[in-house]
Chains A and B, each alone.
Chain A
């Protein structure tokens, strides 16, 4: 276990250094209002995105471990000088934490340490676990096949792949524990950017720490930022883009804004909606600026958007060329505009039904929209919210809005949050898709807390403190509860084994297939089997969402006729929630070599 942890730590630290090496130059082109620590955080974040983008482009040609190591080494070398400079600069900043900041600092530390420790547990789960189904499936297949290509049996592996490319690097350098272990870095960056935004809006250092603590203790934010979910990273990119865009002046700063917007669109398809909303809010900020400079700045904003298109285009062009659709799998309303390959119409409908059902939330009428703050706060199990967002936004953020109502930056940020909430409300109401809005709400909450504490009496001060205290404690409790099993698995090898057996579907078969050297290529007949657990190449004729990976196949038994052409050596047949055994009478060329409960493996003779 210690070796796994050390390897994961090595992977994450090396990736962070590589990211810093690639992004250190960004610090020179950030708005003057960014402080030194913020500059470091944004540089690291941008560097990680740029490094991922570069590897994604290289990976279209070749994605071997050698190439990854070479790219990482070059990027780490680039980080040496800026790191020394950053170290010198940081040493000039007072290191002590003020007394008011002690408690929020402790909360942040608890959450980060908890995430790091729990992140060293093995990721387990079935096809309903996003990390297993596609976030880690893609990277593990790319590393095995030596090129970054969508995995045809899971269309979600064609999503924009900035986080997944980083996961691939982590798998290569730090082993299979590194991707989840890296969640502390994502969470840390999210908290840093949140605190930076808060301080830009006039809050002081300890209030910045409180923003970080409230964000860290929001269960919904946490749920989307660990376990290889990419929503946390997406939110950091969005917030960093907003931070830069609302203060940007001159072409270079707008170009950096464009880079971050491109990274937003290269992380998740929802970025396609977030970036226009951000552009509108930036235009709003520009309209509030000196009218003499306005025209020039609008031109610069357009330059930034052009950079956005450049940074994001590789992901969409690749999909268009390989899969027939820039946005693949096509979302509702888009499918009729393109012809997606490997994805029959019936499967697309099934996929859309899933989106509609999953994202229905508590309705889409105006009353449901008005009730949203209440529902997000109290109906914590809805919106797949995993514990809600705590009490602070509902109880204190309205006063924060009052307090900051004349601040252009704050107004732009509030407008942006409202836009994003509207987009979310009318598309897919999944709580973790709204992390950036929760962060904005946390900032206004702390501003509201300060407003109430400074303006009103002791009773109001105490009530506000009680709201924050209960909210943070409740959030921490939910987070700790959600991580109990992972923590147990880390400290108890026997429980880790027990959980492995309980949560990895068809574990006995995968153990057999992974350990038998005669297994060269596997034919997986059932669409619900998660191929992430296979360490050997495989063919899966029917994908999770009904994708068809082989031409002219109408049922999963047809490939059995030409197993030799497919170079298949073994066939995995299982009883699953969607089907029973598919091979009733095996052909003469199939020999049953392994059988367990609901699992059969045939060798192809």
Chain B
């Protein structure tokens, strides 16, 4: 990994949250910010279009690079978090990481992190499916099967 010395980072970058122009973009697309952020590392604060939370990405100047399929640019608050990045919070590693991402598109760090959580993530769709099905099933059981009409029918078919 090539280490590049960090650019100077001004503290209190902007008084107002920067606004991103554009709405939706594919992975790796460059977005332009109306307010320049000189050096905001770990811009994993940009919200994805599907509301799935932060995506790994970086912001350079007025450009934002995100990794992921789709993302929304309406979450100004997330970009606002970049305001808190000051010179002290930018480490050498982060800078090199950022620059690596910028040059190659995929960092080794993010790949390792991805591998670690991949097995857990595989379970999520099953949990989500089970949860929603359970809510629906209980609703059907409680509101429909337990209703007077259905009970009367059941009693007719299955005499006590």
Binding site for B on A (CB under 8 A): 32-33, 199, 201-204, 290, 292, 377-378, 380, 391, 394-396, 398-400, 402-409, 447-448, 450-457, 459-460, 463-464, 466-467, 470, 474
CB contacts under 8 Å to A, within B136-151, are 136, 138-139, 142-143
| A459 and B131 alpha carbons, distance in the complex (Å) | 13
Chain A's closest residue to B136 (CB) is A467
B84 at the interface (CB under 8 A from A): yes
Tell me which of A391, A454, A457 contacts B48 (CB under 8 A): A454
| Interface pair B16/A32, CB less than 8 Å apart | yes
Using known A-B contacts A204-B74, A378-B138, determine if residue A463 contacts B129 with beta carbons closer than 8 Å: yes
Q: Say whether B129 contacts A460, CB under 8 Å.
A: yes
Chain A residues, CB < 8 A from B10? none
A408 to B16, CA, bound (A): 16
A467 touching B72 in the complex, CB below 8 Å, given contacts A203-B51, A407-B47: no
Say if the beta carbon of B36 comes within 8 Å of chain A: no
The A-B contact count (CB < 8 A) is: 101
Instruction: Tell me, in angstroms, the Cα distance from A460 to B133 when the chains sit together.
Output: 9
List 4 A-B pairs, minimum CB-CB distance, nearest first.
Answer: A454-B50, A403-B51, A395-B135, A202-B75
* Across-interface contacts of A409 in B (CB, < 8 A): 77
Point out the residues of chain A lying under 8 angstroms from B53, CB to CB.
402-406
B99 within 8 A of A: no
Size of the chain B interface, CB-CB below 8 angstroms: 35
User: CA of A166 to CA of B129 in the docked complex: distance in angstroms?
Assistant: 47
The reply to whether A460 and B48 contact each other, CB–CB distance below 8 Å, is no
B132 is an interface residue with CB less than 8 A from chain A: yes
Q: Is the CB of B135 within 8 A of A290?
A: no
A287 to chain B, nearest CB (A): 12
Q: With A and B bound together, what is the CA distance between A532 and B16 in angstroms?
A: 54
A398→B78 CA distance, assembly (Å): 20
Which residues of chain B have C-beta atoms less than 8 A from A399's C-beta?
A: 128
Contacts of B111 in A (CB 8 A): none
How near does chain A come to B104, taking the closest CB pair, in angstroms?
26
B49 neighbours in A (Cβ, 8 Å): 454
Chain A contacts of B77 at CB under 8 A?
407-409
Q: Is the CB of B51 within 8 A of A33?
A: no
Bound complex: CA A235 to CA B53 (Å): 28
Can you identify 14 A-B contacts, CB atoms within 8 angstroms? Answer: A203-B51, A377-B135, A378-B143, A404-B53, A406-B54, A406-B78, A407-B77, A453-B50, A454-B48, A454-B69, A456-B125, A456-B129, A467-B132, A474-B143
Say yes or no: A454 contacts B128, CB within 8 Å.
no
Q: How far is the CA of A452 from the CA of B127 in the complex (A)?
A: 11
Smallest beta-carbon distance B139→chain A, Å = 6
**Which residue on chain B has the smallest CB distance to residue A471?**
B139
- Assess A466 versus B125: contact at CB under 8 Å? Given A199-B74, A408-B77, A474-B143: no
Chain B residues in the interface with A (C-beta under 8 A)? 12, 16, 45, 47-54, 69-70, 72, 74-78, 81, 83-84, 124-125, 128-129, 131-133, 135-136, 138-139, 142-143
Nearest-CB distance from B130 to chain A (Å)?
10
In the complex, the chain B residue whose C-beta lies closest to that of A392 is B135
Could you tell me the distance in whole angstroms from the C-beta of A297 to the nearest C-beta in chain B? 13
Provided the pairs A396-B132, A459-B129, A470-B136 are in contact, do residues A204 and B72 lie with their beta carbons within 8 angstroms? yes
Tell me whether A460 and B128 are in contact in the complex, defined as CB-CB below 8 angstroms, given that A405-B53, A406-B45 are known contacts: yes
Determine if B76 and A457 form an interchain contact, defined as CB atoms under 8 angstroms apart.
Answer: no
Q: Is the interface of A mostly helix, strand, loop or mixed?
A: helix
Residues of A within 8 A of B129 (CB): 456, 459-460, 463
- CB <8 Å contact, B139 and A466: no
Chain B residues, Cβ within 8 Å of A474: 139, 143
Whether A395 pairs with B132 at a CB distance below 8 angstroms is yes
Complex interface: chain B residues within 8 A of A467 (CB): 132, 135-136
Contact B74 A202 (CB under 8 A): yes
Closest approach, in angstroms, between the C-beta of A546 and any C-beta of chain B? Answer: 39
Given A204-B74, A290-B84, A391-B139, 4 further pairs, Cβ under 8 A = A378-B138, A394-B135, A395-B132, A455-B50
Task: Point out which of B131, B136, B139 has the most chain A C-beta atoms below 10 A from its C-beta.
Answer: B139
Which residues does chain B contribute within 8 Å of A395, judged by CB atoms? 131-132, 135-136
Q: Give B54 Cβ to nearest chain A Cβ, in Å.
A: 5
Residues of B within 8 A of A447 (CB): 51
List of B residues within 8 angstroms of A204 by Cβ: 72, 74
Q: Is the CB of A460 within 8 A of B132?
A: yes
Nearest Cβ distance between residue A148 and chain B, in whole angstroms?
43
Chain A positions within 8 Å of B72 at CB level: 202, 204
**What residue in chain B is nearest A390 (Cβ atoms)?**
B139
**Which residues does chain B contribute within 8 Å of A452, judged by CB atoms?**
128, 132
Contact between chains at A470 and B139 (CB < 8 Å): yes
Chain B residues lying within 8 Å of A463, measured Cβ to Cβ, are 129, 132-133, 136
The residues of A that contact B135 with a CB separation of less than 8 Å are 377, 391, 394-395, 467
Complex Cα distance, B135 from A470, in Å, reads: 11
Contacts of B139 in A (CB 8 A): 377-378, 391, 470, 474
Give every chain B residue within 8 A of A457 (Cβ-Cβ). Answer: 125
> Which residues of chain B are within 8 angstroms of A403 by Cβ–Cβ distance?
50-53
Instruction: Give chain B residues whose Cβ lies under 8 Å from the Cβ of A454.
Output: 48-52, 69-70
- Interchain nearest-CB distance for A379 vs B (Å): 8
Contact of A407 with B128 at beta-carbon distance under 8 Å, contacts A290-B84, A400-B51 already known: no
Verify B128–A456 contact, CB threshold 8 A. Answer: yes
Q: How far is the CA of A447 from the CA of B50 in the complex (A)?
A: 8
Residues of A within 8 A of B48 (CB): 454
Min CB gap A415→B, angstroms: 15
Q: Report A289 CB to chain B, min CB distance, Å.
A: 8
A466 contacts B143, C-beta separation under 8 Å: no
| Neighbour of A33 across the interface among B12, B76, B131, CB < 8 A | B76
- Chain B residues with CB under 8 Å of A450's CB are 50-51
Specify which chain A residues have a CB less than 8 angstroms from the CB of B76 in the assembled complex. 33
List the B side residues contacting A378 at CB < 8 Å: 138-139, 142-143
List residues of chain A with CB within 8 A of the CB of B143: 378, 380, 474
A400 to chain B: closest residue by CB: B51
A466 engages B47 (CB within 8 Å): no
Chain B residues positioned under 8 Å from A199 (CB to CB): 74
Q: A391: which B residues are within 8 A, CB to CB?
A: 135-136, 139
User: Which one of B50, B74, B78 lies within 8 Å of A451 (CB-CB)?
Assistant: B50
Beta-carbon nearest neighbor of B139 in chain A: A391
